[in-house]
Structures are given as structure tokens and as C-alpha cells.
Structure 1
């Protein structure tokens, strides 16, 4: 399932999927999307969280081992897997496909990557995550959408800005 970042909050109020992949080069929205998923997971009882960073030399067997491990104190857990270079490689791709073929019922997988390249869009591991859960691509706010985005954010923060204030702010922060 593909979701836009604007749809995420409504989606999380309805259901929680077994896997989420959040990708993009816009750090604020990427971080907020991951925070929203983790918060919804905690509300659903996922009290334990294992953070793994899949950099050079990462042992992809850790993903399977963590998925198979049981906690003495928490029934449900989050595997927060970060892939900073955006490419899991052949071994990582196999591990992700294997995870998606037999996901643990008590575990939520949250993957975070930079913006996906075109070649990655057709990778088996991405398709496996897409069919099991959701892929959320975070795009930078476009200049023409910035005033509405700022106004929405200000309303969420409890502020009541004037149109002129929003426009001035948009002009000052654009780019």
C-alpha cells in the first residue's frame, strides 16, 4: 500500500500494519512520520523497540534473530531498521523478503531510508514490504504548497495566523 505523508495520521487511527517503509530526503516530515508510526505502535501495545542501523558490514541475520526473539517483559515490539545509504544490497534484500514472507504477529517493522532511486522501485524487497504493509514517500513541500502547509501546521500548533503572516513566512523560508 502506498501512502502519502498527509494520509498517515488518518490511516494510523484506523489500523496498524505489520510493516512501514518511510523514505525521503525531507528530514522534518520523515522524522514526524516515523514518530507517528512509533506512537501508534506504542498505543497498540508495542512497548519494546529494537533500533538497528544497517550500515556497511551489517549482519542481516540480526533481523531474523530479532524477529524470532521473545521478550520477557513486552509482548509486542517494534524493529526500527534504518538503512542510511538506502540500499540493503542482495543479502539485505533477501532478509527483508524473508521477513515479509513470514512476519511475526507481535512485531512491527519500521524501515527508514533516504529517497528511493528509480531502480529500487522495482526491487523484490520493496514489493514485499509494499504488499505486507505501507510505503510512505516523503516529498519536500513545493513552493506553491508552502503557504497552505505552513497554515495547516500553525493551526495544529494552536495558532491562528493571518493570511499576510502566512504569506510573509512562506516568502522568508522558501528554499
Structure 2
């Protein structure tokens, strides 16, 4: 078994309420500080790429995505427990390991982008997060007979959109940062 997770990381999503609640709670804690920042002159002064939704959209979309990814983790644990195929079980275990890794990257993005105001490191984090989410979706598809894909595909799509937004914000504001703000704000 190449992806031996600590038992706690398998047991927590075994309960569907905990599976959904953990990413909701972590996402809420991570996003709590953004309310003031998105109303600040710093955020309002950023140049943004076309298609940025109003900031009121984000607190609606993210809880739905967190709940969906949490339920997908529950389905992954169910696949680990019930699969008769060693390959499917290994894929589900790898997918669950990717779940915890991408959740950590997800929770880290908000303090990086909004707290540190570091759009470049945020972009690097989001790139890794998006890749991990897509690979997690791929690894869990077979063991769960595609069930997790229904929950994770919207998340992958939103992350792709977020990657476009973060990349656009970094790109459109890079010259200002290089001239006036210093490298710490990149």
C-alpha cells in the first residue's frame, strides 16, 4: 500500500457529516479574514482580468464546493472500505491522500493572497492546488464508479477559473509592484 494515510485521515471522512463539515469549517476559518480585505483600497485598486464576478459570489460558491469536496472524501473512504480490487483500493487511497493535500493548499491560498497580499506565491499555490484537484478527481473516478466526479468536476472548473483570475491579477499588477512595492508584494 503506497499511500498509507494516518488512520485519523481515513476515519474522519467515514462519517458524512464530518466529511462535509471539515472543509466547510476550514474554508470558513481561512476565508474569515478576507471580508475586510476585499473592502480595502488594496483590493479595490487591483487591476483584474475580464470576467471577475462580484465579490458577493464567492461566499455563495465556496461553501457549496467545500461541501461537495467533503462528500467526495466520504465516497473515497467508502470505496477504500468496500473495494475488492487492489488497484481500485490503491487508487482510492491515493485519491484520499490527494484530497488532504489539496485541502491544505486550498486553506493556505487565502492567507497567502489576501493576508500576505502575495499574488505570485498565491498563483503558485493555486496552480499546485488545481493540479492536485484534477489528479484527485481522476484517481477517484474509477474506485467510486464516477460518483466523486459529479462532486469534484464543478470544483475543478471553479479552480480553473480561479487560476485564470489569480494569474490575471498577478499579470496585470506586476509592473506596479516591480516599480513601487518591492518584491515582497509579488
Q: TM-score range by the shorter chain?
A: under 0.3
Q: When you count strand as a share of all residues, which structure comes out higher?
A: 1
TM-score, with length taken from structure 1: 0.26
Q: Which has the higher contact order (CA 8 A, sep 6+)?
A: 1
Q: When you count helix as a share of all residues, which structure comes out higher?
A: 2
TM-score, with length taken from structure 2: 0.25
